[in-house]
Amino acid sequence: MTLQLGEIAPDFTVESTEGTVSFHEWLGDSWAVLFSHPADYTPVCTTELGAFAKRKDEFDKRGAKLIGVSVDPLTSHAGWAKDIETTQGASLNYPLLADENRLVAELYGMIHPKADPKLTVRTVFIIDPDKKIRLTLTYPPSTGRNVDEILRVIDSLQLTGKHKVATPVDWQNGEDVIIVPSVSDEEAKERFPEGWDEQTSYLRVVRQPK
């Protein structure tokens, strides 16, 4: 069964490039970005792991931990990590799970038999400090992910979790947001005393709360 938003992310204990990871314990009170890779020593994956490594500090600022998944063994990860550093100019600085038994791949539905029965597809799960799944993305093996989009979604989730707002299409951190329909005009006046642009009764645009 496909994991759905709001469900508790399944726990697991698997070896990684940074030792044994018991997922819920490792997560603690942080956010997490859990992402799978079709296989070691593949070109698109190599660029992705390097990109995440280069921008790890941006995830750190948001209180979000990175953790990768591959069904290849630790011995393979070790050699591949050298290629990542050589070709991408960044060394692996977050755990990469060695999911040889496909425990994580099966728990999180990362194997799509009609796409490839042996490899994981490119999945992304954003998980909050309550261990709940807040976003899922699935890419085909041939398409690399967009790190900017993943950071953008974390910004949106963290902002909308604190304030009764939603973020519009193509929103970037610092831009105007939308007051959610469940907030009455009376409550909105208290929450947003500077006022808002009422484009319709249900589309009320307001400056992003600090």
**Catalytic residue chosen out of the listed positions 27, 32, 33, 45:** 45
Tokens matching residue 209: 């709360």
Q: Is 45 a catalytic residue?
A: yes
Burial 38-56 (b: 16+ CB within 10 A, else e): bbbebebbbebbbbbbebb
Cβ–Cβ < 8 Å for 54, 20? no
Report the candidate in 56, 58, 74 with the shortest Cα–Cα distance to residue 66.
Answer: 56
The C-alpha atoms of residue 67 and residue 26 are separated, in whole angstroms, by 10
Give catalytic residue positions: 45
